[in-house]
Structures are given as structure tokens and as C-alpha cells.
Chain A
Amino acid sequence: MARLLSRNIFQSFSDFGGCSALVRNVAVGREARWWSNEASPAVKVTAPRTSLNQPGLQTEEQLGLWYTLEQDIAKQLFGLGGIPKQFATQCKTFAETCLMIRKPALTTIDYIKKTNLALPPNKFILYGREGVGKSLSLVHITHFLSQDNWLLVHIPWAPRWRRGFKEITASATVPGRYDHPLDAVIWLQHFKSQNSQLLKTLQLETSEEYKWSRREVTEAGAPLIDIVELGISRARFASDCIMAVTTELKKHATHQRCKIAVVADGINTFFCLTSRYRLEDLTYLNPENFTIFQAFMQLFNNNWRNGVVVASVDSLANDGARRESYLPRYLLRQKVRSALILDGRH
């Protein structure tokens, strides 16, 4: 049963549901312009909106309508990443963040509501061509998850850590591993901004002692937010903090103290074979040696409970050589292990 559920794959394609009438009218107006000598007068277009701004309450009746994401919620959830750049400039110009309610997002939300959390986590993968709406659907789903009191482990655009990283240093704790000091700090700030309220109410604690250096120690039983804040203040330990946080969250979820949602845009980048970091012997490092990659990949396993993984596979998240198709099996199947995320065999 778990295997069946973990194979849910939804195609993102442009469907305008209840909006088809609007599309038709605009097309007629455009044709008329071609044969007129003067510019046609500006037609006032009012977007079909809905006042139902809670994703949990939206149904099929609202398909094709736009709902408003309040500015403070948008800033809290996506201030440090998540909303695509072009869309973000439009939101800035029009002083509002509005998302269209579309079928893939609604279906995923519906499945998440009906999930049996006692079983290994379901993995929902959105796929489609470029510009079709995967990232914005993820924004919609993330909004629902935060409203439904899920603890968010949100990766805004994963390839940035593999290709456009700010800095990479060799890990001081584990030889052969590599840290992202600055990127890890940014992610911890993002995690804190998204989950600070929930962490306060849940009061999660560390299960073991963490020794960062001779003087800096986080004792067992300390609040989890302490590790997050330590990582934000000390960039050197930030990647290890992420590892600690994800391990702790996995334990807490399995013991039913919280429910965790992993949202990743461009998850196929985790299974790419090379990164842009060059070692001394002039070879490119395999991204599986990144600390933060290992931290998040342990959440793609099936050995924990009370969780869900929602991701998108994007051909742009892969290297240029493997972008022929937009289909998930092609994009993910770069290593043997990556196939397991699809088939759920672990």
C-alpha cells in the first residue's frame, strides 16, 4: 500500500478550468486589432478572484480563480526564497501576491489531507515543461502545509547549492565531506522564519548532546531552536547544524511529536553526478559529499513516519547533458539510488 501511494506523480499542465471563457474573449479582441487602423480602446479586465484565501478550504469550484496570499504570510514563508524571481517582481509591482488555484496543487493537497501518517512518507512529484507552473504550485502547497500546522523543511531551489553556491569548505568534523557555510546560514534563517511559531508551541528538544567545539556544546534536552540559532550565528557549524536539525526532526516525527513536510523544488539535482566545485586533483566533486545534501537526502528515505515529501523535477535542475525530456523517470534516473525514490523500495 505504501509502495502504491509513494508512486503518486502528477502532471502539471496548463488547464484553465473555469477560465476558458475569459481566454476566448481576449483572443477575439486581439484579432480585431489586426484589421483596425487605430488602436482599440483599453478594455478593463477584472481577474476572477475568490475570497477563500485558506488553501485547506479550497475545492474544485474554485479552480481557475485567483486567491490572495497575504503580504506578511508571503514574507514569512517565502522571504528567503520559494517564489520565482519574475513572479516576485510582478507581485512587487502590483503590491499583491495572488496565485491561481489549479488542479495539480489541489489534488496534492487533497491527497495530503487523506494520508495515513502511520505509514512511510508519501512522495508527490510535480513534473512538466518549463514555465508550466511547478514552482508556483509548490508555493500553493507550502502555504497549505504551513496553515495545516506541518513543520516545513523547504528547499527553495536546490540546484543553487550544487551550481551557484556562495562558498564551499572542507568539513572539519567528517573527512571527505564538504560544507556550505554561507548557504547553510541562509537556509537556517529561512527555516526559522517559516517555523518559529510552530517550534515554540511544539517545544521540541534535542535527544543527544552536540559538541561543536571545545567550548560550544548543545546539551541533550535543549530546545531545538537553539541549534538553529547557533547555526545562524556561527557559519562554520551551520552545515552540521542542518544535519543535526534534520536528524532530530526525523526522530521526533517517528515518535509522533510533530508532522514534517519536506518541500523541494528541483529534487532531481540531489541525484546529479557532478557539482561545480573543483577539488585539488582537478576533478569535480560528486554532490553526495555535501553535508547539506546528505542531511536532506536522509529525509527521502522510507524509515520514518508522520511525514510527506512534495517535490518538483525540473529539467533545468539537471546538467545540460541530461535535459532531453521533462519526464520524471528520465530526470531522476541518473544513479541507481535515485530510482528508489520513485519506486519506494528501501
Chain B
Amino acid sequence: MTSGYNCLVIGLARCRLGLSSNKYQLSNVFLRTYSQYPPHFVKPVYQPAQLDDILESGESKNLEFTPVRAAYVNHTSSIFHDKIVMKFTNHVMKTGRKSLARELVEKTFQEIKRIQLQKWNEAKTAEEKANTECNPLTIFHQAVENCRPVLQLIPIKRGGIRYQVPIPITDKRSYFISMRWFVHAGREKERKIHFPERLARELIAASNNEGRVVKQKQDLHRQCEANRAYAHYRWG
């Protein structure tokens, strides 16, 4: 029954079937996703380390005659490839301007490096120097991790009133929300300070568990805690 078919439900399809648009309500309906590839096409493995693993473990024998999907343009086998940075660049992108998004993210990392280098060079003791993190990627990853929410709020209608109900969040969505908050923080008003500079400062603050983005996560957690009483609304 489930072979080759995805169990993921698309809201639009559900609406067409006359069901509620609440995609988090558990249901028995299985629908096919829309993809240009038939279901048996495999996702490409583009990182050398993973390719080596597949060859060693012998899984490559099973994949010998399996057709493969085309690789994404930004999925490179470079040693500098970072999935979270790629995703982040996509979130920064507006109206398909990927080159501009990439430039902005690169400038952000440059700016982080400059700020941290200045701190490192002005540090007097060796201990201070050792505690200053100068790698922008480490700071970026730490910041995104620090701002990932553990729960999310969804609106559920009961008796004519919409309640904000806390429910668990998937890993993917938590990364998405964390990165989206950062992008919005970078796009704040007062455009005299440009996006890369603003974002760099936010990322450095968040990596130390300070700043407005971490505060946003904590506010969300507080609200979830406050609305714990409605948690059972999730199951109808």
C-alpha cells in the first residue's frame, strides 16, 4: 500500500478532497506528491565522503542500474559545501536572485570575520584570544542551533475561537524558523546599516545566546508554556 507512494499530504490536495486544511491533524488519507521524476529515481550523492561510504559498504551494487535524479546547482562536491549555509542562502534570496543572495551571505561571513579578528587583535591576554571564535561558520552554526525552537504554535479553531496550541516541531522546520528569524532581523528598518553588517552582528550575538533572535525563541517558548492547557486540542 505504501510502496512508492509518499504519505506526505499537501494542503491543497486535502482541500480538494473536502477535508480540513489543518495539515497537522492525523488522518488516513494517502496522496501522491507531484514530482517530475518517477518514484524509483534516487537522489544523487554528491559528497566524496558519502560516495566512498557507499562504495565501501557495497550499497553501490544495489544502485548500479538505478536511475538518478539531476543534482541541484548549489550541491557541489567542494570541501566548503555546507548544507545549512546553502539553505540559508535560499532563505536570503528574493525573486530568484541567487547570485545576490550568495554575495550577501559571503559578505556576512566576511563581516563576522572582521569583527572577531578585531576582538582577537585587541585582546590582551592569551586566554581572551583563545576564547575568541574567529571562524564565521562555527559562529553561524552555533547561532542557528541556539535559536532553534523546540515547540511551535498553531491556530486551532474550537467553538468559534482560534486558540494558539503548542505542538512539537520537526527538525527541518525548526532550522527553517531559526534561519527565517535571522533573515528578518537582517532586514530591519534603518537601512543605513546594510543587511550583511546587521546580520553579522545578530549572528555573533546569537552564538553567545544574546540578541533579539534568541529573545524571539525564548518568547515563543514562554508562550507555548503559557498555552499548555490547550495542548490536547491537537487531537480534536
Interface majority SS on B: helix, strand, loop or mixed? helix
Mark out the residues of chain A between 71 and 100 whose CB falls within 8 Å of any chain B CB in the assembled complex: 89, 92-96
Q: Is B79 a contact of A93 with CB atoms below 8 Å?
A: no
Interface status of A27 (Cβ within 8 A of chain B): no
Contact of A38 among B79, B118, B121 (CB under 8 A): B79
Chain B residues with Cβ under 8 A from A94's Cβ? 117-118, 121
Interface status of B122 (Cβ within 8 A of chain A): yes
Task: Report the contact-size class of chain B (Cβ under 8 Å from the partner).
Answer: under 10
Q: How far is the CA of A96 from the CA of B121 in the complex (A)?
A: 9
Q: How far is the CA of A93 from the CA of B116 in the complex (A)?
A: 9
Closest A residue, CB atoms, query B115: A93
Interface status of A43 (Cβ within 8 A of chain B): no
CB distance from B229 to the nearest CB of A (A): 52
Q: How far is the CA of A89 from the CA of B79 in the complex (A)?
A: 30
Closest B residue, CB atoms, query A90: B114
Interface status of A1 (Cβ within 8 A of chain B): no
CB distance from B196 to the nearest CB of A (A): 14
Q: How far is the CA of A96 from the CA of B122 in the complex (A)?
A: 9
Q: Is B122 a contact of A93 with CB atoms below 8 Å?
A: no
Interface status of A39 (Cβ within 8 A of chain B): yes
CB distance from A212 to the nearest CB of B (A): 37
Q: Is A95 a contact of B79 with CB atoms below 8 Å?
A: no
Q: How far is the CA of A38 from the CA of B49 in the complex (A)?
A: 13
CB distance from A82 to the nearest CB of B (A): 21
CB distance from A98 to the nearest CB of B (A): 12
CB distance from B49 to the nearest CB of A (A): 13
CB distance from B15 to the nearest CB of A (A): 51
Closest B residue, CB atoms, query A92: B118
Show 14 A/B contacts (Cβ-Cβ < 8 Å), sorted by A.
A38-B79, A39-B79, A89-B114, A92-B118, A93-B114, A93-B117, A93-B118, A93-B121, A94-B117, A94-B118, A95-B118, A95-B121, A95-B122, A96-B121
